[in-house]
Structure 1
């Protein structure tokens, strides 16, 4: 298997809210390698830097990389604009998807799909072809076609917003997806639908990094590796059994072993 994402000694800071705008270090030397076809999970205490890592990988402008490198399919990811990262095959499902009043959901999805297809040298879809594709995909995710007529995420429940994220992911066909606590706030039925949507993309050409606090999602997805992020660094990595240990013991013992 080829390496699709390689993070080496990544240090990241963000400006705090002080009048002086001081920078606060959040990530303090992340090392992570993900191969094609693999599913990795990132867990850790609140405030450890999990979402920061997802934002940096997707190109959020508020975060400053102060050291280290990130290679995506062999190219310098940090040099690419967010839209170029999407065209290259990277996708981020947000922890808290924002509402876009006045922006029709179907039009938004069609624009996103055709933008990525154009950047990849593929033929753009006309309205009829796209409508057929999006309705078929939405049905698989138990996503009401009526919601395609509404504005993006406006009036959506938490579960509907997360399904909309997975719908976007399914339509864009990324080669690498980051799911930032996509399972948060979901009931059992919605969780199952989201998990099945993620599993449906699994192939030798698709990899993912899933950020979560919950074992239930992992019961559905069954990851290859689990990493624990704390104090801005990955302090422990292991197989699927690691999440069971965390569920039973919490993070305190792993933190104690790291400090020792």
Structure 2
């Protein structure tokens, strides 16, 4: 079997750019459209950027960590890259689809591999109404914000907000509150991955709220609907024994 054609993509740090230059000289470099595999050089943020930017290609992405945490990345080693790519194991994940409505009626849509989050945009706590599959579940959540996370993103913002770590094959979503004031200490809920979650912002003029999909902002909103985008998939490659399932389990014992 011939060696795969590789497209190297790097974040704008000097470490990542240097790595791209070295690897391109050693293994060649093609455009993402012509590649059999895309190698992303950077941290988790750049990995998310790469996955979003290449999702139309259906090409697997193999990350090499040139950042800090690197939860979605493999260790950076220049030697034997071809052998690592041939032996890599694939994880397929589906992002969340966000549909947010601005106060003027403008619709903002976006995809989130990790999470869709709502955050207060003023000095006062947000007031949110939460519905699931068209049924109102919480008439008023007073909080700094709330988010819906995928299993792949459950160790990111969700975990920092004291949400649960979700096994990659759990087929559920985490709905997590941030600094909930009422109901007291309400931490959130686990929902089926097929659930459709809606947040309505109460008192939006007095208590403005902004929405983000993987840190890409939709600005101030009055409502947000979130559901799994089953029609979109991301193919991520990991070294054997270091896939998402193992990382999610390991993180719980760190």
When normalised by structure 1's length, the TM-score is 0.30
| Structure having the larger proportion of residues in helix | 1
The structure number with the bigger radius of gyration is 2
TM-score (ref. length: structure 2): 0.30
The answer to which structure, 1 or 2, has the higher relative contact order (CA under 8 A, 6+ apart) is 1
